[in-house]
Amino acid sequence: MEHFLLEKNRLNEFLSALRNYEVFAPVRKVGLTVFELITNPKEAMLDLKNQPQSPKRVIFPQSEILLVFDKNNAAKEPKGRVGQKPQVVFGVRPCDARGFHMLDPVFEREYPDPYYLQKRQSTLLVGFHCSEPYPNCFCTSVGGNPSSPEGLDILLTDLGEQYFLEVITSKGEQVAKEGAAVLSSPTSQQQTEKEKLSGMAPQKIRRTIDTEGIASKIEKHFDHSLWRELSGKCISCGICTYTCPTCHCFDIQDERVRGRANRLRIWDSCMFPEYTLHASGHNPRPTRTERLKNRMYHKFKQNIDLYGVPGCVGCGRCITLCPENVDLVANLKVIKNL
Amino acid sequence: MDKEKLVNEAKAVFSREDVACLIGYGKDSIGFRVSPIFIRTRDEADQLFFSPLCSLSLVNYLTLEKGVLLEGNKETGGEKIAIVARGCDSRALIQLFAERGIPREQVVILGVPCRGTIDLKKIEGKFPDARNCTEVTEAEGMYYIRFDNESHEVPKEELLADHCKHCAFPNPLVYDVLLEDLVDSKGAAYSDIEEMEKMALEERHEYWKDKFARCLRCYACRNACPLCYCDDCILERVSPQWVNRSVNLSENLMFHLARSYHLAGRCAGCGECERVCPVNLPLMLLNRKLEKDIKNIFEYTAGSNLDDKPLFASFNPKDPNDFIF
Amino acid sequence: MLKKFDPNIMAFLCNWCSYAGADLTGTSHFHYPPNLKAIRVMCTGRINPLMVAAAFRHGADGVLISGCHPGECHYMEGNYLARRKIFVFRNLLEFVGINPERLQMSWVSASEGKKFSNVVKEITEKIKKLGPLTTFDE
């Protein structure tokens, strides 16, 4: 596909040109970077640091109302969901973009999910080449790459004064057309510079693990006493699952507020005891051990069986944000060495 | 702190007492991270350490899954659990004993007088690429941070965790073994709370709206709290469902009202809720606001005295009455 | 034109004093505004402040908790315990930006029918002045 050059100081103009889209971009809020709908391009904060959340929530929100009803009115879809404007998510890290690749089969295979798919199809992902990986990044160990265009529609690479803009898909081409006024053609020197940066990126990833054979080890040692050791410090909170770009478990609940009721879909977390609690009171995963084991089993065994890839993009959030330092990479190494 | 002293005392505890498991701090292999570790035999005690990086509280493990901690007793036959506790942890323990969350006789406390701990977010922000921090020590208002082949000095104020800045109980109030000499303590400071109280009602509402809107409802603040140990938590109840599962401003406010109110007169000030929050909510402001009011009006400080009756299980006929018709 | 604000006020009345007091208000033909929706509880001491929060969440603009006078609790000390809890909860409400005047408390004995009607009148006026509670609208 085509290559362009975007002067950094014209980025705002480029974003403004996308008036047919709702633009989501990282915004700085009290020390955090969060993806939010922006109305003014100046709000965008293109520093990818400290993103406790992936842009997963733009397409798969934490809580989403599916139906509204009350005692006088039959259930109907909430206003505003149908006929949305197409969306652009700006400033996506390549690992997070791969995350959507792992969510897609879940929501489109056996039971196509209209809520997810509609938004997914109308959303375009503009990624940033990840030139400074974070201490706990391990994307290269799970098939990713800090400069990977996989899952993205457009990939930007920071060349200092300019962004090198690669169009990856036809959806991306459309956006490039809308912003064509501020784009120029790169020189061959800039092309080489970009390729050099892409080549250097993987070497900057400092945490690695060879995942070969882990799936069978997890299966084989499913009842090993070591799981208990690994889960000893876990406090059963939902941080790892709620910040994960590939976790997708949800619950459907009917909620009543002031005489109205909503049927909604909300994220659930396999780390909560409630997650597997049966109506009878029996809980097949009663302790932290079973729950932590389940999460690793799902990501590194079951997901491979179902979709051929591990359910992990190596973004390192669950390691960085875990309050008690449950370290996924270290745990995988323990399992591998069993 | 002298590692040798800590390890020796821990070993002595294993020899002397009927201990199945000792919960302490261990140095993680990466960066500034410190992990809770569970020592089940005398020899394992060598892994223990303590430094200003030990900002996490270990008390919640006592009530999280007690059976797991006692598993070690297959080998030792021990029925007791030993724990390394700082000043705030000892307050949490006193509160737990008073509420009969765990019997005093079952816990062996290794008390550590604490000079304040480092906020991991602050130190990782200052040294984002630090892979191998080998040691952090404190002397005369400075932290000395050593890496493999370099060392840095940082003023203590810059890295000190916020809740430690307001700490009035650095010394353990209950212990079986004291690991160091007691340190000086100062009175509780509430200047930041008083500043907030001066804000107009609407202004304060806007402040909290901005915060609560970001809450992920991951329950980490509850799970990390040494005093949130109910088997059946009101935040999780389905029937009646006090707090709906929707993640929006109203439900998040309900969640945080319930959480902080349930810690009124119970919060030990360890700052765990704030430390674990992935979206940096200033939850200790809520806890400390209640702590301040309760101290001023009811002359009650949670976890300060083993013989105190819980705040809301007691009363004084002279309690404030002027807000009542 | 703006619709006149008709507040929703939820009342938790203790079985032994205030609920009987409210009864007496009725049988004595004392008037009070119809904005009050009463729930009978055995004692004010059993009121969990989360009930108050839930009332606000589900549409109440104000909440009244009413029980026996100090020293007259049927269970000896339930109202004293309630007083502490509600005092602290009001402070918490104020700190997160909800006007604590929306949560009122009163001591009304079984013989104080007149007082009950006055309390309700006064509270209704107060809440009317404060306007609708919008904090939990989302």
- Point out the residue among A206, A235, A325 whose CB comes nearest to the CB of B60: A235
Q: Does B5 touch chain C (CB under 8 A)?
A: no
Per-residue confidence band for A81, with pLDDT thresholds at 50, 70 and 90 = low
> Could you tell me if A126 and A263 lie in one domain?
no
Query: C43 lies in a domain?
Result: yes
Token pair belonging to B267 = 């919060």
B257 and C92 in contact by Cβ < 8 A? Answer: yes
CA of C3 vs chain B CAs: smallest distance (Å)? 24
**Predicted local distance difference test score (pLDDT) of residue A62:** 94
> Could you tell me if A139 and A112 lie in one domain?
yes
Q: Does B196 touch chain C (CB under 8 A)?
A: yes
Tell me which of B129 and A237 has the higher pLDDT: A237
Query: A120 lies in a domain?
Result: yes
How confident is the prediction for chain B on average, in pLDDT? 91
**Domain boundary pick from A161, A178, A204:** A204
Exposure string over A182-191, b if 16+ CB within 10 A, otherwise e = bbeebeeebe
- Please state, as a whole number, how many other Cβ atoms lie within 10 Å of the Cβ of residue C62: 25
Of the candidates B163, B291, B283, the residue with the CA atom closest to the CA atom of residue B212: B283
C105 and B265 in contact by Cβ < 8 A? Answer: no
Give chain B's largest Cα–Cα span. Answer: 70
**Domain boundary pick from A184, A204, A224:** A204
Kindly state the DSSP code that residue A31 receives in the 8-state scheme. T
**Predicted local distance difference test score (pLDDT) of residue A52:** 83
How large a percentage of chain A has pLDDT more than 70? 97
Across-strand partners of A67?
Answer: A263
Average pLDDT over residues A98-104: 93
**Predicted local distance difference test score (pLDDT) of residue A37:** 87
Name all chains with 3 or more CB-CB pairs below 8 Å to chain B. A, C
Cα torsion B46, B51, B57, B58 to 10°: value is 10
Query: A200 lies in a domain?
Result: yes
Q: Does B197 touch chain C (CB under 8 A)?
A: yes
Give the DSSP H/E element, type plus range, for residue A89. strand A87-92
**Predicted local distance difference test score (pLDDT) of residue B130:** 66
> Could you tell me if B161 and B73 lie in one domain?
yes
> Could you tell me if B47 and B157 lie in one domain?
yes
For chain B, count helices (H), then strands (E): 14, 8
Contact of B111 with B105, CB cutoff 8 Å: no
**Predicted local distance difference test score (pLDDT) of residue A17:** 86
C-alpha to C-alpha distance for B289 and C87, rounded to whole angstroms: 13
**Domain boundary pick from B147, B178, B209:** B178
The strand pair at C103-107 and A183-184 is best described as unpaired
Per-residue confidence band for A77, with pLDDT thresholds at 50, 70 and 90 = confident
Per-residue confidence band for C2, with pLDDT thresholds at 50, 70 and 90 = low
Token pair belonging to A94 = 């390549």
How confident is the prediction for chain C on average, in pLDDT? 94
ipTM entry: 0.93
CA A52 to chain centre: 11
- Please state, as a whole number, how many other Cβ atoms lie within 10 Å of the Cβ of residue C105: 23
> Helix crossing, B191-198 with B283-298: angle to 10°?
100
Average pLDDT over residues B300-321: 93
B319 and C84 in contact by Cβ < 8 A? Answer: yes
B71 and A228 in contact by Cβ < 8 A? Answer: yes
**Predicted local distance difference test score (pLDDT) of residue A283:** 93
Domain count, chain B: 2
Query: C124 lies in a domain?
Result: yes
Of the candidates B268, B266, B113, the residue with the CA atom closest to the CA atom of residue B175: B113
> Could you tell me if B212 and B172 lie in one domain?
no
Residues of B in contact with C92 (CB under 8 A): 257, 260-261, 264, 286, 289-290
Residues of C near B (Cβ–Cβ under 8 Å) read: 49-50, 53-54, 57, 70-71, 77, 80-81, 83-85, 87-100, 104-108, 115, 119, 122-123, 135-138
Token pair belonging to B222 = 């509850």
B325 and C89 in contact by Cβ < 8 A? Answer: no
Q: Percentage helix, strand, coil, to 5, in chain A?
A: 40, 20, 40
B289 and C71 in contact by Cβ < 8 A? Answer: no
Q: Does B65 touch chain C (CB under 8 A)?
A: no
CA A80 to chain centre: 24
CATH number of the domain at C16, please: 3.40.50
Q: Mind listing the pLDDT tens digit for each residue in A203-229?
A: 888 889 998 889 999 999 999 989 998
Q: How many Cα neighbours within 13 Å face the side chain of A22?
A: 13
**Predicted local distance difference test score (pLDDT) of residue A13:** 87
Residues 1-40 of B with CB under 8 A from A: 28-31, 33-38
The size of chain A, in residues, is 338
> Could you tell me if B218 and B279 lie in one domain?
yes
CA of B296 vs chain A CAs: smallest distance (Å)? 32
Nearest CA in chain B to A269: B218
Query: B68 lies in a domain?
Result: yes
Give the DSSP H/E element, type plus range, for residue A15. helix A11-17
Q: Does B230 touch chain A (CB under 8 A)?
A: no
Per-residue confidence band for A71, with pLDDT thresholds at 50, 70 and 90 = confident
Query: B184 lies in a domain?
Result: no
CA of A135 vs chain B CAs: smallest distance (Å)? 6
Exposed / middle / buried, residue B185 (Cβ in 10 Å: 0-12, 13-18, 19+): middle
Exposure string over B230-259, b if 16+ CB within 10 A, otherwise e = eeebebbeeeeebbbbbbbbbbbbbbbbbb
How large a percentage of chain A has pLDDT more than 90? 51
Query: B299 lies in a domain?
Result: yes
Token pair belonging to B247 = 């993640």
Residue for token pair 């339930």 = C78
Of the candidates A268, C57, A274, C81, the residue with the CA atom closest to the CA atom of residue B258: C57
CA C11 to chain centre: 4
Residue B29 predicted with pLDDT over 80: no
How confident is the prediction for chain A on average, in pLDDT? 89
Residue B43 predicted with pLDDT over 70: yes
Print the domain residue range for B298. 191-313
CB pairs under 8 A between B and C: 107
C-alpha to C-alpha distance for B45 and B26, rounded to whole angstroms: 10
Residues of C in contact with A259 (CB under 8 A): 59
Tell me which of A78 and B299 has the higher pLDDT: B299
Give the DSSP H/E element, type plus range, for residue C11. strand C9-14
Nearest CA in chain C to A259: C58
B68 and A236 in contact by Cβ < 8 A? Answer: no
Mutant choice from C56, C58, C61, C134 vs A, greatest count of A C-beta within 10 A: C58
Residue C1 predicted with pLDDT over 80: no
C-alpha to C-alpha distance for A135 and A320, rounded to whole angstroms: 8
- Point out the residue among C91, C105, C136 whose CB comes nearest to the CB of B324: C105
Query: A209 lies in a domain?
Result: no
Contact of B31 with B133, CB cutoff 8 Å: yes
Name all chains with 3 or more CB-CB pairs below 8 Å to chain A. B, C
> Could you tell me if A239 and A316 lie in one domain?
yes
- Point out the residue among B220, B241, B279 whose CB comes nearest to the CB of A237: B220
Token pair belonging to A205 = 């990833």
Query: C40 lies in a domain?
Result: yes
A237 and B217 in contact by Cβ < 8 A? Answer: no
Nearest CA in chain A to B244: A255
**Predicted local distance difference test score (pLDDT) of residue A103:** 93
Per-residue confidence band for A82, with pLDDT thresholds at 50, 70 and 90 = low
- Point out the residue among B265, B321, B325 whose CB comes nearest to the CB of C104: B325
Query: C3 lies in a domain?
Result: no
Residues of B in contact with C100 (CB under 8 A): 323
**Domain boundary pick from B126, B146, B178:** B178
C50 and B320 in contact by Cβ < 8 A? Answer: no
Domain count, chain A: 2
> Could you tell me if A135 and A253 lie in one domain?
no
Print the domain residue range for C75. 9-130
Q: Mind listing the pLDDT tens digit for each residue in B145-189?
A: 988 888 899 999 999 999 999 999 999 999 999 999 999 988 888
Query: B318 lies in a domain?
Result: no
Residue B132 predicted with pLDDT over 80: no
Mutant choice from A242, A249, A274, A327 vs B, greatest count of B C-beta within 10 A: A242
**Domain boundary pick from B178, B212, B235:** B178
Exposed / middle / buried, residue A253 (Cβ in 10 Å: 0-12, 13-18, 19+): middle
- Please state, as a whole number, how many other Cβ atoms lie within 10 Å of the Cβ of residue A220: 12
**A183 phi and psi angles, rounded to 5 deg:** -100, 150
CA of B99 vs chain A CAs: smallest distance (Å)? 21
Token pair belonging to A91 = 């400033």
- Please state, as a whole number, how many other Cβ atoms lie within 10 Å of the Cβ of residue B149: 7
Domain count, chain C: 1
Most confident of A151-155, A160-164, A184-188: A151-155
C96 and B253 in contact by Cβ < 8 A? Answer: yes
> Could you tell me if B165 and B64 lie in one domain?
yes
> Could you tell me if A84 and A64 lie in one domain?
yes
CA of A131 vs chain B CAs: smallest distance (Å)? 14
Per-residue confidence band for A299, with pLDDT thresholds at 50, 70 and 90 = very high
CA of B232 vs chain C CAs: smallest distance (Å)? 15
Query: B99 lies in a domain?
Result: yes
Residues of C in contact with A258 (CB under 8 A): 58-59
Per-residue confidence band for A83, with pLDDT thresholds at 50, 70 and 90 = low
> Could you tell me if B201 and B99 lie in one domain?
no
SS3 (DSSP) at C103? strand
C-alpha to C-alpha distance for B237 and B215, rounded to whole angstroms: 19
Of the candidates B83, B91, B325, B132, the residue with the CA atom closest to the CA atom of residue A206: B132
Query: B186 lies in a domain?
Result: no
Residue B285 predicted with pLDDT over 80: yes
SS3 (DSSP) at B105? helix
Contact of C53 with B258, CB cutoff 8 Å: yes
- Point out the residue among B234, B261, B325 whose CB comes nearest to the CB of C119: B325
Query: C136 lies in a domain?
Result: no
B234 and C94 in contact by Cβ < 8 A? Answer: no
Nearest CA in chain A to C55: A258
Q: Mind listing the pLDDT tens digit for each residue in A121-143?
A: 999 999 998 888 888 899 999 99
Residue C39 predicted with pLDDT over 70: yes
Residues of B in contact with A135 (CB under 8 A): 30-31, 128-129, 131
Query: B183 lies in a domain?
Result: no
All residues at 6 or more sequence positions from A244 whose CB lies less than 8 Å from its CB, including other chains:
A54, A315, A317, A318
> Could you tell me if A39 and A62 lie in one domain?
yes
CA of A143 vs chain C CAs: smallest distance (Å)? 42
Average pLDDT over residues B222-237: 91
Q: Does B185 touch chain A (CB under 8 A)?
A: no
> Could you tell me if A229 and A154 lie in one domain?
no
Query: B309 lies in a domain?
Result: yes
Print the domain residue range for A232. 214-336
> Could you tell me if A174 and A289 lie in one domain?
no
